[in-house]
Homo-oligomer: A and B are copies of this chain.
């Protein structure tokens, strides 16, 4: 191994100081708004039992789970026969844990395991990485963070409205102003299948219609045909396709008349009306749009669903989304717990903010000041100054080695340290130290108390 250049696993990333500072900036904005709305933090382990994870994300999801080998001497001669029976059989023997694929299933597992200790409605947020064995490609990673907030144990539509309000507050706070929340309801999708004469085919319909933006109407029709929709049903869909092509704007009236024929759809629309009414009371400027083609992939949604896109960015996929699910914990034996939740796609939001240059200049938590290190004689006094500065609340560091001044200044510069304090024998004698502003190049000779005052003003 020695001497070999090390590499990082495909699809994973290191986050150095600058990127970390910017990511933390986004996380902090999100965390503060989650907490402002009464959500509380939860963390679950990276590994979950495979019995918890498998069967929750569809066949494709199961294949994307990272499985962790059981530790110890788990493979015995007798298992060779098993191995010959095939890979799946063997995998079950040698791996019973996997890395979490999202934050929703671990959350459901947590709720079920702690049902007796939790005060419902339970409002939790969770900001942790997830892992998916996707083929690595641009802007798709095998390890990425999710930021989820969910309420379980309440049927109130206030929960949906507050999701929209939190999304709005986060985007406004981050300075992302050109965005759109698209809103739909699973019951509207269900109602449409009833109206066009394809009742019970809601799932296939949702999956196909969800791709309308990407693949266009004719490809969606093909897919519906493939899934067993008849020609007449598809013809009945025409007005809905037309609607999706119509100008963006207040489409409530058209949607209402289109859906008038289905009680199920009307119920869904009514819920959306209520959600929007509450939302309007919470937030003054709302950027939300009914979109009856929005389906969202995940099958567990049962009520309102929503998704957010940024309009003035090259990032075209959604940067946030969520919805209501009626039975998330049912799969673990706890029935009848309704919930609403949503997620921020932090990696995509990061890309948007970088593209639109929305990061504040000073996100990096660099020290405010660096003291130069001239020689051993000066170091004693430099340490004294360092202590004084730190005790006054100034983030300061002393360059550790007595190397050339130029090298020390380069260090300060690269680390974005705004001030450098030169401490040599002359300065120590006069008790006036040369403070250099690294941006302007300006240099002043000052006693330490004045240095502290300038630093405190600049913080």
On A, residues with C-beta under 8 Å from B are 1-9, 12-17, 20-21, 24, 35-38, 40-49, 51-52, 54-55, 63-64, 66-69, 71-73, 75, 80, 83-84, 87, 90-91, 94-95, 97, 99, 109-110, 112-114, 119, 121, 123-124, 129, 131, 133, 142-143, 151, 154-156, 158-159, 278, 281-283, 330-333, 364-367, 370, 373, 379-380, 383-384, 386-387, 390, 395-398, 400-401, 410-411, 414-415
A130 to chain B, nearest CB (A): 10
* B6, A109: Cβ atoms closer than 8 Å: yes
A17 to B125, CA, bound (A): 9
List 11 other contacts, CB 8 Å, given A5-B332, A38-B367, A71-B133: A1-B55, A1-B331, A5-B112, A6-B112, A6-B332, A8-B109, A14-B45, A66-B71, A67-B68, A83-B83, A278-B383
Neighbour of A90 across the interface among B13, B75, B84, B158, CB < 8 A: B75
Q: In this complex, what residue of B is CB-closest to A112?
A: B6
From A6, A47, A80, A159, name the one whose CB has the most chain B CB atoms within 10 angstroms. A6
* Interface SS of A by simple majority: mixed
Q: In this complex, what residue of B is CB-closest to A77?
A: B84
Task: Give the 3 A-B residue pairs with the shortest CB-CB distance, closest first.
Answer: A38-B397, A71-B133, A156-B400
* A99, B13: Cβ atoms closer than 8 Å: no
* A331, B2: Cβ atoms closer than 8 Å: yes
Neighbour of A66 across the interface among B8, B68, B143, B156, CB < 8 A: B68
| Residues of chain B contacted by A5 (CB below 8 angstroms) | 112-113, 332-333
* Number of identical protomers: 2
A3 to B334, CA, bound (A): 8
Ordered by A's residue number, 17 sampled pairs between the chains whose C-beta atoms are within 8 Å are A2-B331, A4-B333, A5-B112, A7-B49, A8-B48, A8-B49, A9-B47, A14-B110, A21-B40, A40-B366, A47-B131, A63-B72, A66-B69, A80-B83, A119-B415, A158-B400, A278-B383
Q: In this complex, what residue of B is CB-closest to A123?
A: B397
| Residues of chain B contacted by A364 (CB below 8 angstroms) | 40
* A43, B15: Cβ atoms closer than 8 Å: yes
Q: In this complex, what residue of B is CB-closest to A71?
A: B133
| Residues of chain B contacted by A395 (CB below 8 angstroms) | 35-36, 38
* A40, B69: Cβ atoms closer than 8 Å: no
| Residues of chain B contacted by A36 (CB below 8 angstroms) | 367, 390, 395-396
| Residues of chain B contacted by A383 (CB below 8 angstroms) | 278, 281-282
Q: In this complex, what residue of B is CB-closest to A109?
A: B6
| Residues of chain B contacted by A411 (CB below 8 angstroms) | 119, 121
* B1, A14: Cβ atoms closer than 8 Å: no
Given A67-B69, A75-B87, A110-B14, A121–B47 Cβ distance below 8 Å? no
* A155, B401: Cβ atoms closer than 8 Å: yes
* A8, B45: Cβ atoms closer than 8 Å: yes
Q: In this complex, what residue of B is CB-closest to A76?
A: B87
| Residues of chain B contacted by A283 (CB below 8 angstroms) | 387
